[in-house]
Amino acid sequence: MTALAESRAPARIDFGPWLWSPTVDLALFGGSAVLALGVVAAARALGFSPGPLPEWGWLVFVLAVDVAHVHSTLFRTYLDGGELRRHPVRYAGIPVLVYAAGVALYLAGPMVFWRVLAYLALFHFIRQQVGWVAVYRARAGQRGLLDRVLDDATVYVCTLYPVLDWHTRLSSTRFAWFMPGDFVDLSRLASSWVGPARLVWLALLVAFALRQLQLALTQSVVHTGKIVVVATTAAIWYVGIVVTNSDFDFTVTNVIVHGVPYFGLLWFYARARRKEAPTRLGSQIVAGGVGAFLGLLLIVAFLEEMAWDRLVWHERVWLFGAGHVDLGAIALALVVPLLTVPQGTHYVLDGLIWRRGDTRTRPSQRAALGFLP
């Protein structure tokens, strides 16, 4: 009787796998999206939006999140002597190549430089979301072609459809990636494709949802982490670009969901690496706790933005003080690419250091991505 009752009992649903824990995963991915949308809603109610990003918003969202998260890559790379010895050519050569390419682009024209950087940044933001989904898929042991193609296609369309919609109205938008004009005006071409793209966007979201429902019904598994990443990507990119037309809204939705989970990843990596190599500089900083980890990133971000303001922008005397330097065209062609080296290096390295090969051979990276307890 007991055996019969047990055989008829409904299968227990598995809501994993998780990278770190249900609480942490949901906080970093779902919580960051809820926070971003909540800030946008509050800003609209308080009159900050639609409109330009206020100075306090620049401090919180640009300097403390967007710029600081770029430098968190230091804990995976330049603050680890063992890693530097492992790939000396990579870590010496990439910044040099980034700088040389930047100078060449800037000499071709300042807008050429910013345009290439904007599209590179866009690609980086999209690929990060694809990467998160790929990690969850690997954690779940989903190796089939169907899930890989459907997952990747859904994330790409959730990001590229809003960008295509943006390109239909570049002249009327109140926001830009870096500066007005950094995206190419393809309004006529984009307008002819945005309708079909919207249908593909809707169809793939429905297909993704149906696939998750099928897995829940047939395998008693709900891949919550992956679903949250896809759902928040769809919501954030749609709200921040298609629904609203505001520098404030775009910045908040863009940087929080991109930067906050990356902070989390690098924190967990640095903590795991400390157990392996406690004498490394990054490990010694992490020994001071999350405050020391974030504090260093904020200091470096502040110094970078001070250099930008003193040498190029001259916009925030209230924060960085007076005494700016007026540079000529040739000097700017040398200085601006130099100041973007951390950003460009981050874009390139981020596409290298989290690959499967490194993850398989590095216990600290396996632990940071949830493959080890």
Residue % of the chain over a pLDDT of 70: 97
What is the per-residue pLDDT across 43-93, written as a single tens digit (0 to 9) for each?
Answer: 999 988 888 899 999 999 999 999 999 999 999 999 999 999 999 999 999
- Cα 246 from Cα 249, distance rounded (Å): 5
Say if residue 128's pLDDT is above 60. Answer: yes
- Cα 137 from Cα 122, distance rounded (Å): 23
Please report where in the chains the tokens 């694809």 appear, as a residue.
130
C-alpha atoms less than 13 angstroms from C-alpha of 270 in its C-beta half-sphere:
29
Q: What is the pLDDT of residue 302?
A: 98
Say if residue 315's pLDDT is above 50. Answer: yes
Say if residue 111's pLDDT is above 80. Answer: yes
Q: What is the pLDDT of residue 4?
A: 47
Q: What is the pLDDT of residue 10?
A: 59
User: Under a CB-based contact definition with an 8 Å cutoff, are residues 368 and 145 in contact?
Assistant: no
The tokens of 251 are what?
């910045």
What is the per-residue pLDDT across 7-55, written as a single tens digit (0 to 9) for each?
Answer: 455 568 889 899 999 999 999 999 999 999 999 999 999 988 888 899 9
Q: Which residues pair with 14 in a beta bridge?
A: 221
User: Under a CB-based contact definition with an 8 Å cutoff, are residues 235 and 37 in contact?
Assistant: yes
Instruction: Compute and round to an integer the Cα radius of gyration of the chain.
Output: 22
Coil vs helix vs strand at 14: strand
What is the per-residue pLDDT across 130-172, written as a single tens digit (0 to 9) for each?
Answer: 999 999 999 999 999 999 999 999 999 999 999 999 999 999 9
Coil vs helix vs strand at 221: strand
CB-count burial class (<10 Å; 0-12, 13-18, 19+) for 195: exposed
| Confidence tier at 2 by pLDDT (50, 70, 90) | low
- Cα 359 from Cα 372, distance rounded (Å): 11
By residue count, the chain amounts to 373
Q: What is the pLDDT of residue 5?
A: 46
| Of 361, 221, 264, residue with least CA distance to 19 | 264
- Cα 349 from Cα 274, distance rounded (Å): 21
| Confidence tier at 322 by pLDDT (50, 70, 90) | confident
Range in 107-121, 208-222, 351-365 the model is least confident about: 351-365
Contacts of 141 (CB under 8 A, 6+ apart): none
User: Under a CB-based contact definition with an 8 Å cutoff, are residues 370 and 139 in contact?
Assistant: yes
pTM of the model: 0.94
